[in-house]
Amino acid sequence: MDALIFLRVLVVYSCFIVSQGLKPPKIKPFHFSGELNVGLRTVVMCAVIDGSPPFDFQWLKDSRPLTSSGGRFSVESFNEFTSILTISDLDSESNGNYTCRVSNSAGSDEKSDSLNMRGFRTPTIKPFNFSGVLSEGRRTAVMCVVTDGDVPFTFSWFKDGKPLQSEEGHFSIQLFDEFTSILTIKKLDSDSNGNYTCRVTNSVGSDEKSDILIMRGNAKENPFIKAMAGIYFYIAVVLIHSAAIEGSKPPRIKPFNFSGELSQGLRTAVMCVIIDGDRPFDFIWFKDGAPLVPQEGHFSVESVNKFTSILTIEHLNSDSNGNYSCRVTNSVGSDQKSDVLMMKGEIYLLSLRDIRRNLFPFGESSGICNNFNMAMHLFICFLVAIFMQIHLVEGLKPPKIMPFHFSGELNEGLRVAVMCVIIDGDRPLDFKWFKDGDLLSPEKSHFSVQIFNEFTSILTIEQLSADSNGNYTCRVTNSAGSDEKSDVLTMKGETWNINRLRHKGIV
């Protein structure tokens, strides 16, 4: 008997030991900290502070197991209690909720932290508008364009708050490019009425815009009117059908609108949609009456489907201002709609620009100068050129610079960059950077000056040090004048002082 009791006690005791010995893991919380900028690397450590080995470590991003995509992520176990996650080449896609999960046979624990790179911009959507003729049987489309923010974006469409999906014969939702989603309602009917919303999300935020679609003569509620409408519709079909035997219908375009924020450097797009008419169609875009030639990095024209053409202006600048038209032609007629793009604070100087563009270089001119004989031609063109030159110099606008600011973390060893952007003024432009009044020569080791485009110069200080402090000036000149803006760079107090002392050999 005693032996049995002893055995029982032993079993209970050893069970106690075993369960005592197998403690579930406990993880120390981790945090993404320090400088999180594009191209940099960040490292976090998942350390087990309590529990019995062996442990199984797992890393998740937004609740999905981390895959070593493109060598971006690397996971290494430092020792049996510690796993280290390295994320290299940070960019907007790196943002997310990272989780470390540790398990052993007694249980598991997990800790998470969100990686949010600073400097990443939330999306801004251009307002959209159901405009033009909206009546039964017509097609309409609206475009949701992100004008600002960092890729990648997720687009979602809603009707009266409910998610909208592509539906055969009714809605189609197409991603045009990474900045643009198009919702097409293929045949308007009374069910199409509603409040439509486009929501765009990226890793740091979201934006949404809505517009209400109301068709004229909504016959939804009244069965009598609906029946009458059915009869009229039938008659209309018969009439259209007989008309179609004689010939097809000319195209009709939905009016388009440059709306929303239009400022320097932003992207904008407008859509030319045919709401009625018979195929095939021919689309032509014009700017100020002249056919628009797509230009790499400036204009692009793409057709989404047989009824829709999109004009994208990649980077708005003073040259983008103008009167844009879309003309659509089929075998029986044509239609045209126009809208004037005018960026904020810009003067619409159509005539002057056009004259200049057409006259120079006068060698290839097809304008004023080509019906004269050779000597006369050269002489008169010469006079005209001089005359125009004088006038053009008078008409040229002096540059105007957007103020710049050294902002964000300014610490020893970090990289900082400021941008000098011309918001107004005529080319050609000459950029110069100064520090405390002295011309900055890029050869001077730790500075670099890059012309980003003809309107933008970027000054980069590769590694901040005490010597970087100073008053920086960007001066831009053209033949009509010049402008300058300055900002003072001051690194945070302590680092600065210690460093200066170090420089002088005091510390």
The binding site for ligand NAG (CB under 6 A) comprises: 63, 97, 99, 112, 114, 127, 129, 131, 161, 195, 197, 210, 212, 255, 257, 259, 289, 323, 325, 338, 340, 437, 471, 473, 486, 488
Q: Report CA 393 to chain centroid distance, whole Å.
A: 36
Q: Which is nearer to ligand NAG, 124 or 248 (CB)?
A: 124
Q: For residue 158, what are its two tokens?
A: 């809603």
Q: Which is nearer to ligand NAG, 80 or 160 (CB)?
A: 160
Q: Which is nearer to ligand NAG, 99 or 465 (CB)?
A: 99
Measure the CA–CA gap between 119 and 114, rounded to whole angstroms: 15
Q: Which is nearer to ligand NAG, 238 or 488 (CB)?
A: 488
Q: Which is nearer to ligand NAG, 12 or 212 (CB)?
A: 212
Q: Which is nearer to ligand NAG, 99 or 180 (CB)?
A: 99
Which residues 6+ apart lie within 8 Å of 131 measured at CB? 254, 255, 257
CB of 419 to ligand NAG, least distance (A): 18
Q: For residue 264, what are its two tokens?
A: 């320097």
Q: Which is nearer to ligand NAG, 351 or 453 (CB)?
A: 351
Q: Report CA 486 to chain centroid distance, whole Å.
A: 28
Task: For residue 163, say if its preceding peptide bond is cis, omega within 30 degrees of 0.
Answer: no
Q: Which is nearer to ligand NAG, 114 or 463 (CB)?
A: 114
CB of 256 to ligand NAG, least distance (A): 7
Measure the CA–CA gap between 229 and 216, rounded to whole angstroms: 13
With CA atoms as reference, report the closest residue to 285 among 266, 300, 263. Answer: 300
Q: Is 11 exposed, middle or buried (0-12, 13-18, 19+ CB in 10 A)?
A: exposed
Hey, how many other C-beta atoms are within 10 angstroms of the C-beta on 269? 22
CB of 80 to ligand NAG, least distance (A): 24
CB of 262 to ligand NAG, least distance (A): 10
Measure the CA–CA gap between 189 and 166, rounded to whole angstroms: 16
Cα-only R_g, the chain? 33
Q: Report CA 269 to chain centroid distance, whole Å.
A: 12
Q: Which is nearer to ligand NAG, 45 or 340 (CB)?
A: 340
CB of 342 to ligand NAG, least distance (A): 10
Q: For residue 104, what are its two tokens?
A: 């052993």
CB of 113 to ligand NAG, least distance (A): 8
CB of 260 to ligand NAG, least distance (A): 8
CB of 6 to ligand NAG, least distance (A): 48
CB of 288 to ligand NAG, least distance (A): 8
- On whether the CB atoms of residues 181 and 171 are closer than 8 A, the answer is no
CB of 217 to ligand NAG, least distance (A): 17
At 458, give phi and psi (nearest 5°).
-120, 125
Hey, how many other C-beta atoms are within 10 angstroms of the C-beta on 429? 20
Task: Dihedral sign for Cα 457, 294, 352, 372, please.
Answer: positive
CB of 88 to ligand NAG, least distance (A): 22
Q: Which is nearer to ligand NAG, 76 or 438 (CB)?
A: 438
Q: Within a 13 Å sphere around the CA of 53, how many CA atoms are in the beta-carbon half? A: 8
Q: Is 128 exposed, middle or buried (0-12, 13-18, 19+ CB in 10 A)?
A: buried
Q: Which is nearer to ligand NAG, 271 or 369 (CB)?
A: 271
Measure the CA–CA gap between 58 and 421, rounded to whole angstroms: 47
Instruction: For tokens 């293929």, name the residue.
Output: 186
Q: Which is nearer to ligand NAG, 318 or 473 (CB)?
A: 473
CB of 55 to ligand NAG, least distance (A): 18
Measure the CA–CA gap between 190 and 171, rounded to whole angstroms: 14
Q: Which region holds residue 46: left if phi is over 0, alpha if psi is between -120 and 50, else beta?
A: beta
Instruction: For tokens 């600065």, name the residue.
Output: 496
